[in-house]
Structure 1
Amino acid sequence: MTLRDERNWGTFIHLGGIVGSAIFRPAGNVILVLVLWLIKRNESRFVDDLGKEAINFQITISLVSVLISILAGVFNGLWSLGSWMTGGFFFSNGWSWSWGGLHGLLWVVNLIFSIIAAVKANEGTSYKYPFSLRLVK
């Protein structure tokens, strides 16, 4: 694999999280990055390292998204129960959390860091995401 090919594949892998999440919201970010990494990981050490970094970040993003969804379900359920028990007097619908906003913020974080990583890969340098679970080693 040529140096240019390594850089291109590294860029594609980092951008795969963004494209994958646009195609299949629940897990597309992980699936596309994983597929791209598995296709080229044995051909280049650089691409293998970038792929591991990208897949770890996308898994972290997905786990945070699941956590947000679980917390939203629990808090919205408790909120509804409290409103029902007080006849809507104490709790009102206007006080509910905007959990969708947290998902949007998470998507923006994914977008920003994935683009930074893709630019670094295109320059031929490795990028370590600032927060990421290191599950794939």
Structure 2
Amino acid sequence: MTLRDERNWGTFIHLGGIVGSAIFRPAGNIILVLVLWLIKRNESRFVDDQGKEAINFQITISLVSVLISMLGGIFNGLWSFGNWVAGGNMFYGGWNWSWGGLHGLLWVVNLIFSIIAAVKANEGVSYKYPLSLRLVK
């Protein structure tokens, strides 16, 4: 694999999280990155390294998304229970909107860091995502 091919595949892998999440919302970010990485990981050490970074970051993003959904569900359930106990007179604090906003913020974080990583990979620089769980080694 040529140096240019390594850089291109590194770029594609990092952008795969954005494209995958746009195609298949629940897990597309992980699936597309994983497929691209598995196809080319044995051909280049750089592609293998960047693929691991990208898959770890996308897994982290997905886990945080699940956590936000769980917390939102818990808080919405508590609010509903409190409203039921209060006889329907409890003011709705907008929990649902705020948790949805956190999902939007998470998507923006994914977008920003994936683009930064893709640009770095295109320059031939290994990129390490901040605050990413290192599950795939």
Is 1:47 the counterpart of 2:42? The answer is no
1:13-24 aligned at under 5 Å gives the runs 13-24=13-24
Cα shift at 1:47: 0.1
Query: CA separation in 2, counterparts of 1:126 and 1:80?
Result: 48
Aligned-partner residue type, residue 6 of structure 1: E
TM-score (norm 1): 0.97
Query: CA separation in 2, counterparts of 1:76 and 1:27?
Result: 24
Query: CA separation in 2, counterparts of 1:66 and 1:57?
Result: 14
Counterpart in the other structure of 2:35:
35
Counterpart in the other structure of 1:96:
94
Query: CA separation in 1, counterparts of 2:115 and 2:94?
Result: 33
Counterpart in the other structure of 1:123:
123
State how many pairs are aligned. 135
Cα shift at 1:84: 1.0
Query: CA separation in 2, counterparts of 1:92 and 1:103?
Result: 24
Cα shift at 1:87: 1.5
Cα shift at 1:56: 0.2
- For the 8 Å contact 1:117–1:127, the answer to whether it is kept is yes
Cα shift at 1:96: 2.5
- For the 8 Å contact 1:14–1:117, the answer to whether it is kept is yes
Counterpart in the other structure of 1:75:
75
Query: CA separation in 1, counterparts of 2:91 and 2:27?
Result: 34
Is 1:113 the counterpart of 2:113? The answer is yes
Structure 2: gaps (5+ residues)? none
Counterpart in the other structure of 2:86:
86
- For the 8 Å contact 1:20–1:28, the answer to whether it is kept is yes
CA offset digits 1:23-64 (Å, max 9, x no partner):
001000000000000000000000000000000000000000
Cα shift at 1:123: 0.3
Query: CA separation in 2, counterparts of 1:63 and 1:96?
Result: 24
Cα shift at 1:88: 2.5
Query: CA-atom RMSD, angstroms?
Result: 0.6
Query: CA separation in 2, counterparts of 1:61 and 1:18?
Result: 11
- For the 8 Å contact 1:76–1:96, the answer to whether it is kept is no
Q: Give the secondary structure class of the aligned counterpart of 1:92.
A: coil
Q: Would you identify which runs of 4 or more consecutive aligned residues in structure 1 move more than 4 Å?
A: none
Query: CA separation in 2, counterparts of 1:43 and 1:3?
Result: 11
